[in-house]
Amino acid sequence: PRRQGYRILHEADLRDYMAEILDVAARLGGEPASWTITEVGDGNLNLVFIVKGARGGVAVKQALPYVRLVGESWPLPLSRAHYEYLALSKQAQLAPGLVPALLHHNENLALTVMELLEPHIIMRKGLVAGTQYPGFVGDITTFMARTLFFTSDLALSAAEKKEGIAAFAGNHALCKITEDLIFTDPYRIAEQNRWTAPYLDALAAELRDDMELHVAISRLKLKFMASPEALLHGDLHTGSIMVTESQTRVIDPEFAFYGPMGFDVGAVLANLLMAYFASAGHERAPGERAAFEGWVLETVEQVWSEFARKFLELWRAGAAGDAYPASLFAGEKGAARLEAERQAYLQRLFTETVGFAAAKTIRRIFGLAHNIDFELIADPKTRAISEARAVRLARAMMVETGTFRTIADVTGAARKLR
Ligand code: ADP
Ligand code: MG
Ligand code: MG
Ligand code: MG
């Protein structure tokens, strides 16, 4: 009965529905009959409409009861729209200005109306085109440091934290997608896997036979499943970030749940590293994109270092959470020991981030969902060269994680492979 009334709102229904939400109708302006409605969804799961009126526009996202990319044969709960709405509300509170404003949500229809991001584009498209985003590091590190720190046991009481976990625990069908598609399928024969054949056939077979890699990915899977450290975005790739030269907005948190922080940070790093490796395949003249590629690697370094700096700053400024009680770290000696412990925490988080970044890379090359960084390299042989470089780095990051002590170790290894 909770789902009574769900129906897919196509153009005419959507127009009638929007006309009745008074503040949305006012924002659009003019007669509902004059509004233009365009479906723009390019994601794997949902419908997204852009609606424009005489005054302004909005974006409308509606979940389908199945996976859009695959079809009705793969059902997926509509409740993900509710979790996306909850996460978006929380992120708006913790990282103001870095997510689209929420205008309306209808849980029965699995529908959310939000601010139209314009002229923002999906960051991944900009990266394929070779565009640099000077404000990105500052914005994404603020987003991650604040959303992760303030939903962790470092900032919350034990009760608040567990209430938070409970609020998102029902989003397990989306977690299961990640568990299967990222942490399992690329390493075994699975119907939905694909790769750039025949060039990567041998590499795909190698991954399926690599027991050290299977141990490493399984440890990461367990970490993903069993470590509710903070409220994650859960799908923080460059296709979930919209940008202009000066603005950054994070969208699409339908995979949100309480999980390990390194999964979000690793997602950002992995997608930048893939943009770096793909860049060679988008060159029309050798060296043409050298400045862009330098910027990408510098951005990888700064995303980690600025995230770590901001996270530590929040922790030092006053951790109100129940972890690390101040009474156990009194005086000068206590302060010094606690500071060393903060550094150790960030070092562990770095190691996990490196592993998750590797997992996010391999799934894009051998799993179901690929990305345009590589897919838009038309010549399969050229594409396979870029992909194989990314996989080589990812394999080392996952299996020889301990040799990557600093982020410069990661970018240094990436540079050598180019
Ligand atoms: P999915 O969950 O299906 O991946 P997304 O939330 O990522 O859906 O949205 C799909 C696409 O719709 C985005 O890639 C973007 O082009 C567009 N889009 C989503 N939200 C907005 C918005 N607020 N403003 C403008 N375009 C948007
Ligand atoms: Mg998306
Ligand atoms: Mg996606
Ligand atoms: Mg999505």
In this predicted structure, the answer to whether residue 3 has a pLDDT above a threshold of 90 is no
Q: pLDDT grade, residue 318 (50/70/90)? A: confident
Whether 1 is covered by a domain: the verdict is no
Q: Give the domain-ending residue among 63, 84, 115.
A: 115
For residue 190, the CA-to-ligand 2 centroid distance in Å is 23
- Report the number of distinct structural domains present in the chain: 2
Assess whether 89 and 157 both reside in one domain: no
Asked if residue 140 and residue 82 are part of one domain, the reply reads no
Q: With respect to residue 5, please indicate whether it lies within any of the assigned structural domains.
A: no
- Same domain for 184 and 283: yes
Residues 402 and 311 in one domain: yes
Residues with CB under 6 A from ligand 1: 40-46, 48, 59, 61, 100, 114-117, 122, 240, 251-252, 254
CATH of the domain at 91: 3.30.200.20
Element (H, E) at 232: strand 230-232
Condensed to tens digits (0 to 9), the pLDDT of residues 341-373 reads 999 999 999 999 999 999 999 999 999 999 999
CB count in 10 Å sphere of residue 395: 20
Q: Nearest-CA neighbor of 369 among 54, 44, 134?
A: 44
Q: Which domain holds residue 82?
A: 11-115
Residues 103 and 127 in one domain: no
Could you give the strand order of the β-sheet that contains 248-250, starting from the edge strand earlier in sequence?
Answer: 121-122, 241-243, 248-250
Asked whether residue 254 is assigned to any structural domain, the reply reads yes
Q: What ipTM, to 2 d.p.?
A: 0.97
Work out the mean pLDDT of the chain and round it to a whole number: 96
Assess whether 59 and 169 both reside in one domain: no
Q: Give the model confidence (pLDDT) of 189-239 as tens digits.
A: 999 999 999 999 999 999 999 999 999 999 999 999 999 999 999 999 999
What is the pLDDT at residue 4?
A: 65
The answer on pLDDT for 246 being more than 80 is yes
Return the ligand 1 atom nearest residue 116 CA: 24
Q: Which of 39, 44, 46, 61 is the best mutation target for the ligand 1 pocket, counting ligand atoms within 8 Å of the beta carbon and taking the most?
A: 61
Do 125 and 240 belong together in one domain?
yes
CB contact set of 390 (below 8 Å; sequence gap of 6+): 273, 274, 277, 278, 361, 365
Domain boundary among the residues 61, 96, 115 is at: 115
As a whole number, mean pLDDT of residues 159-177 equals 98
Verify that 27 and 137 share a domain, yes or no.
Answer: no
Q: Give yes or no: residues 111 and 129 share one domain.
A: no
Domain end among 81, 115, 149: 115
Please check whether residues 53 and 181 belong to one and the same domain: no
Gyration radius from the chain CA atoms: 22
* Both structure tokens of 173: 């069908």
Residue 394 located in a structural domain: yes
One domain for residues 313 and 387? yes
Same domain, 303 and 246: yes
Note whether residue 6 is domain-resident.
no
Residue 1 reports pLDDT greater than 70: no
Question: Is 3 domain-assigned?
Answer: no
